[in-house]
Structure 1
Amino acid sequence: MKQNKLIGLGVATMAAFLLLSVNTAEAARTDMVDVSNHNGYMNVSDWTGMRDKYGVKSMVTKISEGTFYKDYTAANNIATAKQAGIYQNGYHFARYKTAAQAESEANYAATLAKQDGLPNNAVLVTDVEAAEQQYTPLTTNDYNNFIFMSTVQKYGYRTDIYTSGSWMNNIMTVKPGTGWIASYPYVVGDKQWYTGNHAWQFSSTQNFAGTTAVGNFDVSQLNDDFYTGGQNTKPVNPVTPPVTNNNQVANQDYAQTGTFTANTTVNVRSGVANNAPIVATYAPGQSLNYNHIYIVNGVVKGRYTSYSGQTRYASMGYIPGGSFGKRSAVSNSRTYTVRYGDSFWSIANRLGINMNSLAAKNGKTINSIIYPNQQLMY
């Protein structure tokens, strides 16, 4: 949660990672994002970018705090998430120390949630991380949380507890199979924490590069469908989002070569920009040999030369995010299948190499006869 960093929680800086290595460990998934006034008014394009590029499928927006604060961005953020097809939830920052205060805060939060348009059956979470609970006995916190949650349920909402890993079953009880737990490792890598709970919040500094969403966000991995109302929580193959910038250039580039084998339909563009015209696609299982890597607003592009001799750029994945296929090293000797009407001159021109070197590598001269379907190394 943005407003109050979890008390007693050692917040660590997440290590950045690059999807250029073939065997990069899979990081925790960005299944759910929580937002508040600190993130401002979210647009539909913010949510669709998160959805399409990072697999976000659920959101939690701050509704209220105590009985004195209403988050002014909640109604907008619920509405825009709904338009983008993102499942909507809300949270209340708890200040209660007694059962009476818990009931009052629950009525306050649920009433505002209704006003803000939070749909029935959404989750309205109690965010329990304040000093009021830190110095209250565990049994009292448990009872107060019970009162809050049972009161909220009367409004047609499902409920859950958000707290830190260091507070869970220490400051309050979080039953197995419930709870949204925050704990930020130094390096996420392939760690899988709190898999016995509904959700694990693993970072408060996620940046959604390549989308219209600006700033750092709290992100969580979902371990079941509690926060998606039954929607599938497995990782999805993202699709390329619309881009409005017509003058994109590569943010980074790498002199790498290799073979890329698609595991989903991959767009091929005539230029390196994300909005360059799509001129071809690769189906799952099809491969290409790339001769350079570019990163354009978080999209990884593999450059290659087409059979027609044109330079093409295939979308290979996102940073951070996911890969659209498998990448592996390619041998120095690649092969070209001769087509009817080919000559050493036309092939060399198509591949962007010297025709004398091409012929010599195959034990021939440029005057040698070549035949359709013959394999030439280059």
Structure 2
Amino acid sequence: MNKHKLKALILTVGAIFMAFLMVNLNSQASTSREQGVDWSRYNGNSGTFGYSSDKFVFSQAGGFYGGTNIPQTTYNSQVASAKRAGKRVHTYLWDGVGGNMTNAKAMMAYYLPRIKTPKGSIVALDYEDGASNSVTANTNVIKAQFKLIKAYGYIPVLYSGKDYLNAYVNVSAIVRAYGNCLWLAEYPDYLVRTSPNYNWFPSMDGVAIFQFTSMYKAGGLDGNVDLTGITKSGYTTASKAKAQANVKKAQKAQAAKKATFKVVKYNQRGVFYPNRTLAVRYTDSDKVRQVATYYKGESVTYNAVIIEHNYVWARYTRSNGLYGFIKLGVTNGPAYGKRVTGQPASHMYYTVKSGDSWWTIAQRNGLSMTTLASQNGKTIYTTIYPGQQLVVR
């Protein structure tokens, strides 16, 4: 084969490949090539708009940083600002939980009730730092978060860079489960760019949104293009109806988990009374669940009821400051025997200082945040104040 024919063949193959790439992109983009921006607190209370032609905005509600949830104070006003400007507004969260399932679920429990964008809209996880060394753990965490986002009536999306995802996440497993759910960033340079350069498209299966620049305009602003029409989610009649149906389905599933447990009869005065029935509210945890209702009687305060390893336990605190645990019954089947109580123990207290959080206090005392909060009759979402005393032992 002579050089001219070889060159012609190479050019032809190259042209076919580019045509295939663009056909693939065009097939993804058959419903949309609309552009939009994303904001964090650095964009101010009202956000920084790109161009009048932009159709959508992502606003950061907060995230999980350094072991705790930190909301963005600009989120509510940014959402309102985007709506006033006639933009379709969605939410994203900094997902710094790595491969820690407990933190992942706590993060979702904290933020999902605080989402201000419509049901059916996108809740994206910004997963670009803090991943663990276990691809399996990271992937399982993201899939669990996606499941919770979907159950709450939103569309889950994963934001990151191609190289980071390939290094720390089994992307194909997530795409198989959720389809086009990736929001990927890839910049050819840091010059001002008002439209995508598809020669720098991060070719992967499942890409729904392409962040093509961090210099959408002079001074800096992220520019994104919607390849599939996903940013219309939550803003059409069909998507709203689907979101409402998902919420009702999740509510029915939650209601089916409710149960009652008969308290075991025993003879210790002032703890519980025979044949009292407790209403148990389940949470997302598979192993430990806590009742929202508090019981008080005589000189004993009933702080919480915990279901663990198929047994119902009550944690009580006496007026003299001592506490213990009482086994009440089993979660399935008949009531279980007589009470079993832990040994009462004297409390050790910690005085909250300015700048403290559940996480910092728990770490300092070798506890988990959930344990620290529950033994004080609170949750990790309860606000604590300087000068307040917490039981740490």
Q: TM-score, normalised by structure 1?
A: 0.46
Q: Which has the higher helix share?
A: 2
Q: TM-score, normalised by structure 2?
A: 0.44
